[in-house]
Amino acid sequence: MELSQGARRFIIWMFIAIAIVLADQMTKWAIIRWVPLYGSVPINDFINLTHQQNTGAAFSFLAGASGWQRWFFVVLATVVSAVLAVWLWRIRNEGHMLLAGGLTLVLGGALGNLIDRIRLGYVTDFIQVWFGSWAFPSFNVADSAITVGAALLIIDSLFLSGKEKAAPKEAPPES
């Protein structure tokens, strides 16, 4: 049985999401193994590799909560991941490459952080960017994929998706 072009696209998107998960988990494994907790390895004047444990969400939101946030984020990431996978399946034949790319990146990132939350109870963050004496909150490969994916989704929603429906239709030729 031969797969349709749409099914092949969907499989490719899933492989990309899995590649993001693997890259995320391998880099986190290396950090956990070789960088002590709260340790720092300077890469250059503005980037450090560090080893942080984030029990919250972005920017450590809810990190100080009593522990319920772990399972809240597990459920949330599971539901979001399922919705993204279904959405990718539904658009498999439509050729919306920017939309599919954004959804795939967000899916891969969400799954990468989901694995950490289930397995460890927190997300390992390790990339730290400095601007003078100010440090951006540490992040990881999954967070980077989610951020780039979200940017692609915004660009798609502003400039591409729905525009084909809004375009005026040509009048049928008169006989």
List residues with catalytic annotation.
125, 143
Angle (CA) 86-146-98 rounded to 5° is 60
Q: How far apart are the first and last CA of the chain?
A: 46
* Backbone φ, ψ for residue 54 (5° rounding): -110, 110
- What does the alpha-carbon distance between residue 160 and residue 156 come to, in Å, rounded to a whole number? 5
**What is residue 38's DSSP assignment?**
T
Please report, for residues 5, 43, 97, 100, 102, the alpha-carbon distance to residue 85 in angstroms, rounded to integers and kept in the order given: 17, 36, 15, 10, 12
